[in-house]
Amino acid sequence: MGAMTSGQVRCEHCGQVNRVPAAAAGTPRCGKCHQPLPWIADADDTTFAEVADAAKVPVIVDLWAPWCGPCRMVSPALEQLARDLAGQVKLVKVNVDESPRISQRFEAQAIPTLLVLRGGQVAARQTGAAPLPALRAWVDKALATATP
């Protein structure tokens, strides 16, 4: 861990497989049809500033751990949100066991702890798992209030 991760994302519009970096100046778009791609990245103590704080779009932070059952339930819902809101948000997943400083910074005493960050500032916070519609409403509200 500690290295920047990047993933392969299949475009839902044209099927093209794109490589999406963990951090970038803009938001990722499909190389073929130029539609926005879902942006899902991992971060830890070393990469969080670059991957999450410096992002130009609102960031949904998922503070999770491998042993946490509710985390495993909420992660797919968050990934669905990242697909639904492609181009508008970035999802950053942080394993708190491997990221003690990030865990401490956000006082993640219970997990999952979910945050919406804008320019490194916490715009919204939620502790505990929730079903997709509730998460969607929570993120929509955070984006509405966080937009200048």
Residue numbers annotated as active site: 68, 71
Q: Which is nearer to Zn ion, 29 or 136 (CB)?
A: 29
Other C-beta atoms closer than 10 Å to the C-beta of 105 total 12
CB-nearer residue toward Zn ion: 30 or 40: 30
**Closest separation between CB of residue 29 and Zn ion, Å?**
8
CB of 16 to Zn ion, least distance (A): 5
Closest among 47, 137, 8 to 84, alpha carbons compared: 137
Site residues, Zn ion (CB under 5 A): 11, 13-14, 16, 30, 32-33
Strand intervals (E) in 16-111: 17-20, 40-43, 59-64, 90-95
Nearest-approach distance from CB 101 to Zn ion, in angstroms: 37
Q: Tell me the two tokens of residue 66.
A: 């491998």
